[in-house]
Structure 1
Amino acid sequence: MQNLTMSWQTAGAVAAVALASGAAVRRTGRESAGLVLREIGTVLALFSVWQFAGTLSVMGSEDATGRAQWVWDTERSLGLPSERTLQHWVLPHPWLVQGANYYYATMHFGAVIALLVWLFLRHRQYYPWARMTLVLVTASSLAVQLVPVAPPRLLPAAGMADTAVQYGQSVYGTTIGGVQADAYSAMPSVHVAWCVLVAVAVVRAGRSRWRWLAVLHPVLTVLVVVVTANHFWLDGVAALVLLGASYAVQAGASRIRARVRAPQPREELPEQSPAEVGAER
Protein backbone atom coordinates (compact mmCIF):
# COMPACT_ATOMS: atom_id res chain seq x y z
CA MET A 1 0.00 0.00 0.00
CA GLN A 2 1.39 3.35 -0.97
CA ASN A 3 1.91 5.89 1.76
CA LEU A 4 -1.32 7.89 1.79
CA THR A 5 0.33 11.14 2.80
CA MET A 6 2.34 13.83 1.04
CA SER A 7 6.10 14.14 1.21
CA TRP A 8 7.49 16.90 3.39
CA GLN A 9 8.59 18.82 0.27
CA THR A 10 5.09 18.74 -1.24
CA ALA A 11 3.41 19.60 2.06
CA GLY A 12 5.84 22.48 2.62
CA ALA A 13 5.28 23.88 -0.87
CA VAL A 14 1.49 23.69 -0.56
CA ALA A 15 1.70 25.26 2.91
CA ALA A 16 3.73 28.19 1.56
CA VAL A 17 1.22 28.76 -1.25
CA ALA A 18 -1.72 28.56 1.16
CA LEU A 19 -0.15 31.00 3.65
CA ALA A 20 0.76 33.49 0.92
CA SER A 21 -2.69 33.20 -0.66
CA GLY A 22 -4.34 33.67 2.72
CA ALA A 23 -2.40 36.89 3.35
CA ALA A 24 -3.30 38.19 -0.12
CA VAL A 25 -6.99 37.31 0.22
CA ARG A 26 -7.24 38.99 3.62
CA ARG A 27 -5.90 42.22 2.14
CA THR A 28 -8.86 42.24 -0.25
CA GLY A 29 -11.24 42.25 2.70
CA ARG A 30 -12.32 38.61 2.52
CA GLU A 31 -11.37 37.82 6.08
CA SER A 32 -13.02 34.40 6.41
CA ALA A 33 -11.50 32.98 3.23
CA GLY A 34 -8.10 34.33 4.23
CA LEU A 35 -8.35 32.71 7.66
CA VAL A 36 -9.24 29.33 6.14
CA LEU A 37 -6.22 29.47 3.82
CA ARG A 38 -3.98 30.53 6.70
CA GLU A 39 -5.09 27.61 8.86
CA ILE A 40 -4.66 25.13 6.00
CA GLY A 41 -1.15 26.46 5.46
CA THR A 42 -0.34 26.26 9.17
CA VAL A 43 -1.46 22.63 9.50
CA LEU A 44 0.37 21.60 6.32
CA ALA A 45 3.52 23.36 7.49
CA LEU A 46 3.33 21.41 10.75
CA PHE A 47 2.85 18.19 8.81
CA SER A 48 5.83 19.03 6.60
CA VAL A 49 8.05 19.52 9.65
CA TRP A 50 6.80 16.24 11.11
CA GLN A 51 7.59 14.36 7.91
CA PHE A 52 11.05 15.92 7.61
CA ALA A 53 11.95 15.42 11.26
CA GLY A 54 11.43 11.69 10.82
CA THR A 55 14.57 11.64 8.66
CA LEU A 56 16.72 13.14 11.42
CA SER A 57 18.26 11.60 14.48
CA VAL A 58 20.77 12.61 17.13
CA MET A 59 21.85 8.99 17.69
CA GLY A 60 22.47 6.15 15.28
CA SER A 61 19.62 3.84 14.33
CA GLU A 62 21.90 0.86 14.99
CA ASP A 63 21.10 1.24 18.71
CA ALA A 64 17.35 1.51 18.09
CA THR A 65 16.82 -2.22 18.60
CA GLY A 66 18.70 -2.15 21.90
CA ARG A 67 16.45 0.65 23.16
CA ALA A 68 13.39 -1.28 22.01
CA GLN A 69 14.65 -4.30 23.96
CA TRP A 70 14.93 -2.10 27.06
CA VAL A 71 11.31 -0.95 26.58
CA TRP A 72 10.17 -4.57 26.16
CA ASP A 73 12.04 -5.73 29.27
CA THR A 74 10.73 -2.78 31.31
CA GLU A 75 7.15 -3.63 30.35
CA ARG A 76 7.63 -7.22 31.45
CA SER A 77 9.12 -6.11 34.77
CA LEU A 78 6.10 -3.84 35.30
CA GLY A 79 3.74 -6.71 34.61
CA LEU A 80 2.12 -5.12 31.55
CA PRO A 81 0.17 -7.42 29.19
CA SER A 82 2.18 -8.85 26.34
CA GLU A 83 1.67 -7.15 22.97
CA ARG A 84 2.50 -10.49 21.36
CA THR A 85 -0.45 -12.22 23.06
CA LEU A 86 -2.88 -9.56 21.86
CA GLN A 87 -1.59 -9.83 18.30
CA HIS A 88 -1.88 -13.61 18.33
CA TRP A 89 -5.58 -13.31 19.16
CA VAL A 90 -6.11 -11.23 16.01
CA LEU A 91 -3.79 -12.90 13.47
CA PRO A 92 -6.22 -15.75 12.61
CA HIS A 93 -8.70 -13.15 11.27
CA PRO A 94 -7.28 -11.61 8.03
CA TRP A 95 -10.11 -9.09 7.60
CA LEU A 96 -9.49 -7.77 11.10
CA VAL A 97 -5.74 -7.52 10.54
CA GLN A 98 -6.14 -5.70 7.22
CA GLY A 99 -8.66 -3.33 8.77
CA ALA A 100 -6.18 -2.55 11.54
CA ASN A 101 -3.47 -1.85 8.96
CA TYR A 102 -5.69 0.62 7.11
CA TYR A 103 -6.76 2.27 10.35
CA TYR A 104 -3.12 2.74 11.34
CA ALA A 105 -2.19 4.22 7.96
CA THR A 106 -5.08 6.65 7.56
CA MET A 107 -7.01 7.55 10.68
CA HIS A 108 -4.37 9.39 12.71
CA PHE A 109 -4.03 12.31 10.30
CA GLY A 110 -7.53 12.03 8.84
CA ALA A 111 -9.20 12.37 12.23
CA VAL A 112 -7.07 15.38 13.16
CA ILE A 113 -7.94 17.17 9.92
CA ALA A 114 -11.64 16.40 10.41
CA LEU A 115 -11.44 17.75 13.98
CA LEU A 116 -9.77 21.00 12.97
CA VAL A 117 -12.29 21.61 10.16
CA TRP A 118 -15.21 20.89 12.50
CA LEU A 119 -13.90 23.18 15.23
CA PHE A 120 -13.09 25.97 12.77
CA LEU A 121 -16.56 25.89 11.20
CA ARG A 122 -18.74 25.06 14.21
CA HIS A 123 -16.83 25.79 17.42
CA ARG A 124 -14.35 28.53 16.56
CA GLN A 125 -13.67 29.38 20.22
CA TYR A 126 -12.04 25.98 20.74
CA TYR A 127 -10.01 25.99 17.54
CA PRO A 128 -6.91 27.93 18.77
CA TRP A 129 -6.67 25.68 21.82
CA ALA A 130 -6.85 22.49 19.75
CA ARG A 131 -4.39 23.76 17.16
CA MET A 132 -1.86 24.87 19.76
CA THR A 133 -2.18 21.51 21.54
CA LEU A 134 -1.48 19.79 18.23
CA VAL A 135 1.61 21.94 17.67
CA LEU A 136 2.98 21.44 21.19
CA VAL A 137 2.44 17.69 21.44
CA THR A 138 3.77 17.06 17.93
CA ALA A 139 6.86 19.20 18.48
CA SER A 140 7.66 17.54 21.81
CA SER A 141 7.10 14.09 20.28
CA LEU A 142 9.47 14.89 17.45
CA ALA A 143 12.10 16.03 19.94
CA VAL A 144 11.92 12.67 21.72
CA GLN A 145 11.92 10.77 18.43
CA LEU A 146 15.33 12.21 17.59
CA VAL A 147 16.53 9.26 19.68
CA PRO A 148 15.54 6.25 17.50
CA VAL A 149 13.60 3.38 19.06
CA ALA A 150 12.59 0.35 17.00
CA PRO A 151 8.94 -0.76 17.01
CA PRO A 152 7.95 -4.26 18.21
CA ARG A 153 7.81 -5.58 14.62
CA LEU A 154 11.57 -4.93 14.30
CA LEU A 155 12.47 -6.43 17.68
CA PRO A 156 13.34 -10.14 17.31
CA ALA A 157 12.74 -10.88 20.99
CA ALA A 158 9.13 -9.67 20.73
CA GLY A 159 8.29 -12.41 18.24
CA MET A 160 5.63 -10.27 16.57
CA ALA A 161 4.59 -10.30 12.93
CA ASP A 162 4.78 -7.23 10.70
CA THR A 163 1.14 -7.40 9.69
CA ALA A 164 1.36 -4.57 7.15
CA VAL A 165 4.17 -6.33 5.26
CA GLN A 166 2.28 -9.61 5.33
CA TYR A 167 -0.67 -8.07 3.49
CA GLY A 168 1.23 -5.61 1.31
CA GLN A 169 -0.11 -2.62 3.25
CA SER A 170 3.08 -1.22 4.75
CA VAL A 171 3.68 2.54 4.60
CA TYR A 172 7.32 1.93 5.52
CA GLY A 173 9.96 1.32 2.89
CA THR A 174 8.01 3.30 0.27
CA THR A 175 9.99 6.31 -0.94
CA ILE A 176 8.06 9.51 -1.60
CA GLY A 177 9.88 12.64 -2.69
CA GLY A 178 13.18 10.96 -1.85
CA VAL A 179 12.10 10.36 1.77
CA GLN A 180 10.95 7.17 3.47
CA ALA A 181 8.60 7.01 6.42
CA ASP A 182 10.69 6.69 9.57
CA ALA A 183 10.62 3.10 10.85
CA TYR A 184 12.54 3.92 14.06
CA SER A 185 10.31 6.52 15.71
CA ALA A 186 8.20 4.26 17.91
CA MET A 187 8.71 6.28 21.10
CA PRO A 188 6.44 8.15 21.72
CA SER A 189 3.39 7.20 19.66
CA VAL A 190 2.14 10.28 17.81
CA HIS A 191 -0.86 8.17 16.77
CA VAL A 192 -1.90 7.85 20.42
CA ALA A 193 -1.25 11.52 21.22
CA TRP A 194 -3.35 12.71 18.29
CA CYS A 195 -6.25 10.31 18.85
CA VAL A 196 -6.62 11.33 22.51
CA LEU A 197 -6.40 14.99 21.48
CA VAL A 198 -9.29 14.40 19.05
CA ALA A 199 -11.43 12.67 21.67
CA VAL A 200 -10.83 15.32 24.34
CA ALA A 201 -11.59 18.15 21.91
CA VAL A 202 -14.83 16.54 20.68
CA VAL A 203 -16.05 15.88 24.22
CA ARG A 204 -15.12 19.38 25.34
CA ALA A 205 -16.55 21.29 22.38
CA GLY A 206 -19.51 19.09 21.48
CA ARG A 207 -22.95 19.41 23.02
CA SER A 208 -24.65 16.23 21.82
CA ARG A 209 -24.70 13.16 24.03
CA TRP A 210 -23.26 11.29 21.02
CA ARG A 211 -19.97 13.17 21.44
CA TRP A 212 -18.84 10.49 23.90
CA LEU A 213 -18.54 8.07 20.99
CA ALA A 214 -15.31 9.93 20.16
CA VAL A 215 -13.72 8.02 23.05
CA LEU A 216 -13.84 4.93 20.82
CA HIS A 217 -11.20 6.49 18.56
CA PRO A 218 -8.35 6.36 21.12
CA VAL A 219 -9.46 2.91 22.29
CA LEU A 220 -9.34 1.57 18.73
CA THR A 221 -6.09 3.38 17.96
CA VAL A 222 -4.28 1.93 20.97
CA LEU A 223 -5.43 -1.56 20.03
CA VAL A 224 -4.48 -1.01 16.38
CA VAL A 225 -0.95 0.27 17.01
CA VAL A 226 -0.26 -2.72 19.27
CA VAL A 227 -1.90 -5.38 17.07
CA THR A 228 0.03 -4.17 14.02
CA ALA A 229 3.27 -4.29 16.05
CA ASN A 230 4.01 -0.63 15.43
CA HIS A 231 4.11 0.47 19.08
CA PHE A 232 4.70 -0.75 22.61
CA TRP A 233 2.30 0.08 25.45
CA LEU A 234 4.90 2.46 26.88
CA ASP A 235 5.03 4.39 23.59
CA GLY A 236 1.40 5.32 24.23
CA VAL A 237 2.09 6.16 27.89
CA ALA A 238 4.89 8.52 26.82
CA ALA A 239 2.53 10.17 24.32
CA LEU A 240 -0.07 10.77 27.04
CA VAL A 241 2.57 12.36 29.28
CA LEU A 242 3.52 14.78 26.50
CA LEU A 243 -0.13 15.53 25.75
CA GLY A 244 -0.77 16.28 29.41
CA ALA A 245 2.26 18.56 29.47
CA SER A 246 0.92 20.38 26.40
CA TYR A 247 -2.40 21.00 28.15
CA ALA A 248 -0.57 22.17 31.29
CA VAL A 249 1.59 24.62 29.32
CA GLN A 250 -1.49 26.16 27.74
CA ALA A 251 -3.34 26.38 31.06
CA GLY A 252 -0.34 28.08 32.67
CA ALA A 253 0.02 30.50 29.76
CA SER A 254 -3.69 31.37 30.00
CA ARG A 255 -3.38 32.16 33.71
CA ILE A 256 -0.36 34.38 33.07
CA ARG A 257 -2.17 36.24 30.26
CA ALA A 258 -5.21 36.74 32.47
CA ARG A 259 -3.02 38.17 35.23
CA VAL A 260 -1.26 40.53 32.86
CA ARG A 261 -4.51 41.76 31.31
CA ALA A 262 -6.33 42.18 34.61
CA PRO A 263 -6.90 45.88 35.43
CA GLN A 264 -4.63 47.09 38.19
CA PRO A 265 -6.46 48.57 41.22
CA ARG A 266 -6.02 52.33 41.53
CA GLU A 267 -3.87 53.40 44.40
CA GLU A 268 -5.96 55.67 46.60
CA LEU A 269 -4.32 58.33 48.76
CA PRO A 270 -5.16 58.14 52.47
CA GLU A 271 -7.80 60.61 53.56
CA GLN A 272 -6.48 63.64 55.44
CA SER A 273 -8.09 65.11 58.47
CA PRO A 274 -9.16 68.82 58.41
CA ALA A 275 -6.32 69.65 60.80
CA GLU A 276 -3.76 68.11 58.42
CA VAL A 277 -5.23 70.01 55.49
CA GLY A 278 -4.99 73.27 57.43
CA ALA A 279 -1.42 72.57 58.42
CA GLU A 280 -0.45 72.05 54.79
CA ARG A 281 -1.89 75.43 53.92
Structure 2
Amino acid sequence: MAATDLVFAGSIPELYEQHMVPLIFEPYAQDLASRIAALAPAALLEIAAGTGVVTRRLAQALPASSRIVATDLNPAMLQEAQRRGTRRPVEWQVADAMQLPFADASFDAVACQFGAMFFPDKAHAFAEARRVLRPGGVLVFNVWDAIADNEFAATVTDALVPLYPQDPPRFMARLPHGYHNAEAIARDLVQGGFREAPQIVTVTARSPAASARIVALAYCQGTPLRGEIEARGSPGLAEATQAAAEALASRFGSGAIDGRIQAKVVTVRR
Protein backbone atom coordinates (compact mmCIF):
# COMPACT_ATOMS: atom_id res chain seq x y z
CA MET A 1 0.00 0.00 0.00
CA ALA A 2 1.46 3.37 -1.04
CA ALA A 3 1.77 6.31 1.34
CA THR A 4 -0.92 8.21 -0.58
CA ASP A 5 -3.48 5.37 -0.64
CA LEU A 6 -5.29 6.35 2.55
CA VAL A 7 -5.01 10.14 2.19
CA PHE A 8 -8.52 11.56 2.05
CA ALA A 9 -7.69 15.08 3.14
CA GLY A 10 -7.40 18.65 1.85
CA SER A 11 -9.93 19.24 -0.92
CA ILE A 12 -10.49 15.52 -1.55
CA PRO A 13 -13.45 15.02 0.86
CA GLU A 14 -15.45 17.85 -0.70
CA LEU A 15 -14.64 16.83 -4.29
CA TYR A 16 -15.34 13.20 -3.38
CA GLU A 17 -18.77 14.10 -2.02
CA GLN A 18 -19.57 16.53 -4.82
CA HIS A 19 -18.54 14.33 -7.73
CA MET A 20 -17.72 10.72 -6.80
CA VAL A 21 -20.80 10.14 -4.65
CA PRO A 22 -23.40 10.85 -7.36
CA LEU A 23 -21.16 9.32 -10.01
CA ILE A 24 -20.62 5.84 -8.56
CA PHE A 25 -21.50 5.56 -4.87
CA GLU A 26 -25.15 6.60 -4.66
CA PRO A 27 -26.75 3.55 -6.34
CA TYR A 28 -24.78 1.15 -4.16
CA ALA A 29 -25.59 3.16 -1.04
CA GLN A 30 -29.28 2.71 -1.78
CA ASP A 31 -28.74 -1.00 -2.38
CA LEU A 32 -26.77 -1.48 0.83
CA ALA A 33 -29.24 0.51 2.93
CA SER A 34 -32.17 -1.54 1.64
CA ARG A 35 -30.38 -4.77 2.54
CA ILE A 36 -29.65 -3.48 6.04
CA ALA A 37 -33.21 -2.20 6.51
CA ALA A 38 -34.54 -5.69 5.72
CA LEU A 39 -32.55 -6.97 8.72
CA ALA A 40 -34.27 -4.46 11.05
CA PRO A 41 -31.25 -4.00 13.34
CA ALA A 42 -31.76 -2.33 16.71
CA ALA A 43 -28.11 -1.24 16.65
CA LEU A 44 -26.03 -0.75 13.50
CA LEU A 45 -22.33 0.01 13.10
CA GLU A 46 -21.07 1.47 9.83
CA ILE A 47 -17.33 1.32 9.24
CA ALA A 48 -15.44 3.31 6.59
CA ALA A 49 -18.44 5.64 6.33
CA GLY A 50 -16.54 8.23 4.28
CA THR A 51 -18.61 11.34 3.63
CA GLY A 52 -21.78 9.59 4.76
CA VAL A 53 -23.56 8.55 1.58
CA VAL A 54 -24.68 5.25 3.11
CA THR A 55 -25.24 6.85 6.49
CA ARG A 56 -27.76 9.26 5.01
CA ARG A 57 -29.59 6.41 3.31
CA LEU A 58 -29.60 4.38 6.52
CA ALA A 59 -30.97 7.34 8.46
CA GLN A 60 -33.90 7.35 6.03
CA ALA A 61 -34.41 3.58 5.87
CA LEU A 62 -34.15 2.64 9.55
CA PRO A 63 -36.68 3.62 12.22
CA ALA A 64 -35.80 6.29 14.74
CA SER A 65 -35.52 3.60 17.40
CA SER A 66 -32.52 2.04 15.62
CA ARG A 67 -29.14 3.20 16.84
CA ILE A 68 -26.73 4.16 14.04
CA VAL A 69 -23.02 4.56 14.75
CA ALA A 70 -21.00 5.77 11.74
CA THR A 71 -17.20 5.60 11.84
CA ASP A 72 -14.25 6.30 9.57
CA LEU A 73 -10.49 6.33 9.95
CA ASN A 74 -10.18 9.76 8.29
CA PRO A 75 -11.38 12.73 10.40
CA ALA A 76 -11.68 14.95 7.30
CA MET A 77 -14.13 12.55 5.66
CA LEU A 78 -16.28 12.32 8.79
CA GLN A 79 -16.25 16.10 9.12
CA GLU A 80 -17.65 16.35 5.59
CA ALA A 81 -20.28 13.74 6.47
CA GLN A 82 -21.29 15.66 9.58
CA ARG A 83 -21.41 18.90 7.59
CA ARG A 84 -23.80 17.26 5.13
CA GLY A 85 -25.88 15.92 8.01
CA THR A 86 -28.60 13.29 8.30
CA ARG A 87 -32.36 13.48 8.72
CA ARG A 88 -32.09 12.17 12.29
CA PRO A 89 -29.33 11.85 14.91
CA VAL A 90 -26.37 9.60 14.14
CA GLU A 91 -23.39 8.88 16.38
CA TRP A 92 -20.22 9.89 14.52
CA GLN A 93 -16.86 8.56 15.66
CA VAL A 94 -13.35 8.38 14.24
CA ALA A 95 -12.39 4.72 14.45
CA ASP A 96 -10.03 2.25 12.82
CA ALA A 97 -11.70 -0.90 11.44
CA MET A 98 -8.59 -2.80 12.50
CA GLN A 99 -9.24 -1.96 16.15
CA LEU A 100 -12.86 -1.06 16.76
CA PRO A 101 -13.43 0.82 20.04
CA PHE A 102 -16.62 -1.06 20.90
CA ALA A 103 -17.46 -3.88 23.28
CA ASP A 104 -18.06 -7.43 22.14
CA ALA A 105 -21.57 -8.20 20.86
CA SER A 106 -22.63 -4.53 20.66
CA PHE A 107 -24.40 -4.48 17.29
CA ASP A 108 -26.99 -6.41 15.32
CA ALA A 109 -25.45 -5.47 11.99
CA VAL A 110 -22.21 -4.05 10.62
CA ALA A 111 -22.20 -2.28 7.25
CA CYS A 112 -19.29 -1.17 5.09
CA GLN A 113 -19.46 0.42 1.66
CA PHE A 114 -16.31 0.09 -0.46
CA GLY A 115 -13.99 0.08 2.53
CA ALA A 116 -12.83 -3.53 2.75
CA MET A 117 -10.38 -3.06 -0.11
CA PHE A 118 -8.43 -0.60 2.06
CA PHE A 119 -8.07 -2.86 5.11
CA PRO A 120 -4.37 -3.74 5.45
CA ASP A 121 -5.27 -7.08 7.06
CA LYS A 122 -8.69 -8.05 5.82
CA ALA A 123 -9.09 -11.19 7.94
CA HIS A 124 -8.28 -9.17 11.05
CA ALA A 125 -10.78 -6.45 10.11
CA PHE A 126 -13.45 -9.10 9.54
CA ALA A 127 -12.60 -10.61 12.94
CA GLU A 128 -13.15 -7.20 14.53
CA ALA A 129 -16.52 -6.86 12.78
CA ARG A 130 -17.48 -10.33 13.97
CA ARG A 131 -16.37 -9.51 17.53
CA VAL A 132 -18.72 -6.53 17.83
CA LEU A 133 -21.65 -8.43 16.28
CA ARG A 134 -24.19 -10.13 18.50
CA PRO A 135 -24.84 -13.84 17.89
CA GLY A 136 -26.86 -14.07 14.70
CA GLY A 137 -25.76 -10.56 13.66
CA VAL A 138 -24.92 -9.82 10.05
CA LEU A 139 -21.99 -8.19 8.26
CA VAL A 140 -22.95 -6.59 4.94
CA PHE A 141 -20.35 -4.95 2.72
CA ASN A 142 -19.60 -4.29 -0.91
CA VAL A 143 -16.40 -4.14 -2.96
CA TRP A 144 -15.76 -2.96 -6.49
CA ASP A 145 -15.46 -5.64 -9.13
CA ALA A 146 -12.49 -5.88 -11.53
CA ILE A 147 -11.50 -2.59 -13.13
CA ALA A 148 -12.32 -4.01 -16.57
CA ASP A 149 -15.97 -4.14 -15.43
CA ASN A 150 -15.92 -0.46 -14.39
CA GLU A 151 -15.59 1.58 -17.54
CA PHE A 152 -14.78 5.07 -16.21
CA ALA A 153 -12.11 3.82 -13.78
CA ALA A 154 -10.49 1.72 -16.51
CA THR A 155 -10.51 4.58 -19.01
CA VAL A 156 -8.96 7.07 -16.58
CA THR A 157 -6.29 4.57 -15.52
CA ASP A 158 -5.36 3.79 -19.13
CA ALA A 159 -5.29 7.48 -20.06
CA LEU A 160 -2.53 8.20 -17.54
CA VAL A 161 -0.12 5.57 -18.87
CA PRO A 162 1.29 7.71 -21.74
CA LEU A 163 1.90 10.61 -19.34
CA TYR A 164 3.93 8.50 -16.92
CA PRO A 165 5.19 5.54 -18.99
CA GLN A 166 7.92 4.59 -16.53
CA ASP A 167 5.61 4.51 -13.50
CA PRO A 168 1.91 4.95 -14.37
CA PRO A 169 -0.45 5.65 -11.47
CA ARG A 170 -2.24 2.38 -10.67
CA PHE A 171 -4.22 3.35 -7.58
CA MET A 172 -7.63 2.53 -9.05
CA ALA A 173 -6.64 -0.93 -10.31
CA ARG A 174 -4.46 -1.74 -7.32
CA LEU A 175 -6.79 -0.77 -4.46
CA PRO A 176 -10.43 0.12 -5.17
CA HIS A 177 -10.61 -2.61 -7.84
CA GLY A 178 -8.07 -4.95 -6.33
CA TYR A 179 -10.23 -7.06 -4.00
CA HIS A 180 -12.98 -8.75 -5.96
CA ASN A 181 -12.13 -12.45 -6.03
CA ALA A 182 -15.03 -14.27 -4.34
CA GLU A 183 -12.86 -17.14 -3.17
CA ALA A 184 -10.36 -14.78 -1.56
CA ILE A 185 -13.15 -12.86 0.17
CA ALA A 186 -14.70 -16.08 1.50
CA ARG A 187 -11.30 -17.28 2.70
CA ASP A 188 -10.63 -14.02 4.55
CA LEU A 189 -14.04 -14.24 6.22
CA VAL A 190 -13.29 -17.77 7.43
CA GLN A 191 -9.94 -16.58 8.77
CA GLY A 192 -11.84 -13.78 10.50
CA GLY A 193 -13.95 -16.35 12.36
CA PHE A 194 -17.12 -16.48 10.26
CA ARG A 195 -18.34 -20.05 9.91
CA GLU A 196 -21.34 -19.65 7.61
CA ALA A 197 -20.71 -19.38 3.88
CA PRO A 198 -21.15 -15.79 2.68
CA GLN A 199 -23.72 -14.79 0.09
CA ILE A 200 -21.86 -12.93 -2.66
CA VAL A 201 -23.88 -11.32 -5.45
CA THR A 202 -22.84 -9.14 -8.38
CA VAL A 203 -24.66 -5.83 -8.80
CA THR A 204 -24.27 -3.85 -12.02
CA ALA A 205 -25.37 -0.23 -12.44
CA ARG A 206 -24.82 2.79 -14.66
CA SER A 207 -22.70 5.81 -13.80
CA PRO A 208 -24.14 9.02 -15.27
CA ALA A 209 -22.21 12.27 -15.59
CA ALA A 210 -22.89 15.65 -17.13
CA SER A 211 -19.58 15.58 -18.99
CA ALA A 212 -16.30 13.73 -19.42
CA ARG A 213 -14.60 16.61 -17.60
CA ILE A 214 -16.65 15.94 -14.45
CA VAL A 215 -15.63 12.27 -14.46
CA ALA A 216 -11.95 13.15 -14.95
CA LEU A 217 -12.09 15.69 -12.12
CA ALA A 218 -13.80 13.19 -9.83
CA TYR A 219 -11.26 10.42 -10.33
CA CYS A 220 -8.07 12.48 -10.67
CA GLN A 221 -8.75 15.05 -7.96
CA GLY A 222 -11.42 13.54 -5.70
CA THR A 223 -9.67 10.28 -4.78
CA PRO A 224 -6.19 9.27 -3.53
CA LEU A 225 -5.26 8.87 -7.21
CA ARG A 226 -4.54 12.58 -6.86
CA GLY A 227 -1.66 11.84 -4.48
CA GLU A 228 -0.15 9.36 -6.92
CA ILE A 229 -0.32 11.90 -9.75
CA GLU A 230 1.12 14.73 -7.67
CA ALA A 231 3.94 12.50 -6.40
CA ARG A 232 5.15 12.05 -9.98
CA GLY A 233 5.75 15.76 -10.51
CA SER A 234 5.51 16.66 -14.16
CA PRO A 235 3.13 16.40 -15.98
CA GLY A 236 1.04 17.80 -13.18
CA LEU A 237 -2.48 17.32 -11.90
CA ALA A 238 -4.07 19.65 -14.46
CA GLU A 239 -2.43 17.85 -17.37
CA ALA A 240 -3.42 14.44 -15.99
CA THR A 241 -7.02 15.56 -15.51
CA GLN A 242 -7.14 16.91 -19.05
CA ALA A 243 -5.71 13.68 -20.50
CA ALA A 244 -8.35 11.67 -18.63
CA ALA A 245 -11.12 13.99 -19.84
CA GLU A 246 -10.00 13.63 -23.45
CA ALA A 247 -9.85 9.84 -23.20
CA LEU A 248 -13.32 9.72 -21.66
CA ALA A 249 -14.77 12.01 -24.33
CA SER A 250 -13.15 9.91 -27.05
CA ARG A 251 -14.69 6.72 -25.67
CA PHE A 252 -18.08 7.92 -24.45
CA GLY A 253 -18.72 11.08 -26.47
CA SER A 254 -19.21 14.75 -25.72
CA GLY A 255 -21.98 16.10 -23.54
CA ALA A 256 -23.66 13.86 -20.97
CA ILE A 257 -22.10 10.40 -20.70
CA ASP A 258 -22.58 7.24 -18.69
CA GLY A 259 -20.55 4.11 -18.10
CA ARG A 260 -20.96 0.66 -16.63
CA ILE A 261 -20.07 0.09 -12.97
CA GLN A 262 -20.07 -3.24 -11.17
CA ALA A 263 -19.58 -4.39 -7.59
CA LYS A 264 -19.93 -7.45 -5.40
CA VAL A 265 -22.17 -7.35 -2.32
CA VAL A 266 -21.27 -9.72 0.50
CA THR A 267 -23.60 -10.80 3.32
CA VAL A 268 -22.46 -13.12 6.09
CA ARG A 269 -24.03 -14.04 9.44
CA ARG A 270 -22.14 -14.43 12.70
Q: TM-score, normalised by structure 1?
A: 0.22
Structure with the higher fraction of residues in helix conformation: 1
Select the structure that is richer in strand. Answer: 2
Instruction: Compare CA radii of gyration and give the structure with the larger one.
Output: 1
Structure 2 length-normalised TM: 0.23
